[in-house]
């Protein structure tokens, strides 16, 4: 018998205004967004700064955090005191700040028990000639502090070409910045801790500058990290599926559908984001076919069985490691 409580869960995105944001979340994805420069769509999130409501189905009226806390059977096997992932789309009309994120240990100690922030980027679109910043060239804390104090940004920062379809892994301790003209789908730990190293000396509408976090940045930078030279995806696609990233916090894959595709779903949950095309999605437990298209995001709960996708579309999926 179909079980509507195990049907696909469609969170309602939460949007954030950013000094560097634009309007492509409206023009490219069809979202109804607030006025102003909207930089981030928190598409699947239970973080306090953007807790997605559920608008339809058996769980309408709940938030994703409420489901995690009070209906944990939907995420059976997943541990922890909070939903662990956060899926975003970023529209960078202008440059983001040059920044770095802490790991779990540093964040727990210095940021009121927060998770750290490991993340990754799938590039949805990039204007010709766009570059992004991943990595820095200082060998130790003292050298990095001097470069920052002297404003030697060209000596310090590592620029990488950025093209649609590229994928970048951003480990905690990696200095990075998404640059203007870029659209990104970001998969990350559920954390909102960012340490700004440099903000291009820009001013906000009231004339003030955004705060920097130099000492925290110096604490958490991984000085031994090797900077990438390219984001080209070289992993082999197998039956439409490309493994993009495996790490202790999540696994990310690209899934191409041309006709019908069945994905086993043995995980505690599966996050799905349609980045192009359209079709339908149905899980075996509920048996309800949902129309999905570019900009659709949904969760496959635990125990829902296989996910059947039909149509012509590309998705980015993520789940916890088995």
Catalytic residue positions?
A: 196
Which H helix or E strand runs over 165? none
Q: Do residues 149 and 215 lie in contact, with contact meaning Cβ atoms separated by under 8 Å?
A: no
Two structure tokens written together for 304: 């829902």
Q: Do residues 31 and 9 lie in contact, with contact meaning Cβ atoms separated by under 8 Å?
A: no
The rounded distance, in Å, linking the Cα atoms of 67 and 294 is 25
Helices (H), 168-246: 214-220
- DSSP secondary structure, 252-318, as one string: EEEEEEEEEEEE---SSEEEEEEEEEEEEEEETTT---EEEETT-EEEEETT---EEEEEEEEEEEE
Q: Do residues 5 and 58 lie in contact, with contact meaning Cβ atoms separated by under 8 Å?
A: yes
The rounded distance, in Å, linking the Cα atoms of 39 and 50 is 14
């Amino acid at each position: 018998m179909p079980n509507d409580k195990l049907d696909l869960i469609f969170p309602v995105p939460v949007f954030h205004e950013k000094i560097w944001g634009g309007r492509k979340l409206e023009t490219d994805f069809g979202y109804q967004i607030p006025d102003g420069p909207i930089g981030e769509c928190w598409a699947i999130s239970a973080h306090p700064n953007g807790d997605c409501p559920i608008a339809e189905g058996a769980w309408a009226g709940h938030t994703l955090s409420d489901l995690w806390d009070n209906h944990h059977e939907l995420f059976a096997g997943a541990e922890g005191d909070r939903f662990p992932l956060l899926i975003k789309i970023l529209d960078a009309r202008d440059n983001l700040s040059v920044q770095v994120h802490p790991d779990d240990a540093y964040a727990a100690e210095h940021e009121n028990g927060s998770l750290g922030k490991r993340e990754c980027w799938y590039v949805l679109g990039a204007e010709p000639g766009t570059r992004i910043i991943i990595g820095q060239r200082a060998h130790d804390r003292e050298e990095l502090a001097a470069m920052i104090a002297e404003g030697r940004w060209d000596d310090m920062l590592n620029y990488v070409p950025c093209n649609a379809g590229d994928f970048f892994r951003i480990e905690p301790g990696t200095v990075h910045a998404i640059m203007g003209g870029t659209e990104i789908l970001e998969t990350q730990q559920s954390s909102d801790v960012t340490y700004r190293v440099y903000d291009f000396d820009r001013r906000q509408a009231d004339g003030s500058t955004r705060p920097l976090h130099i000492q925290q940045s110096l604490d958490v930078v991984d000085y031994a990290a090797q900077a990438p030279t390219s984001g080209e995806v070289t992993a082999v696609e197998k039956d439409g599926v490309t493994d993009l990233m495996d790490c202790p916090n999540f696994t990310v894959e690209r899934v191409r559908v041309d006709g019908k595709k069945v994905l086993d779903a043995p995980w505690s949950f599966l996050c799905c984001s349609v980045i192009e095309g359209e079709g339908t999605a149905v899980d075996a437990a509920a048996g309800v076919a949902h129309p999905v298209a570019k900009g659709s995001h949904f969760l496959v709960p635990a125990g829902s069985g296989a996910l059947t996708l039909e149509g012509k579309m590309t998705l980015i999926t993520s789940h916890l490691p088995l």
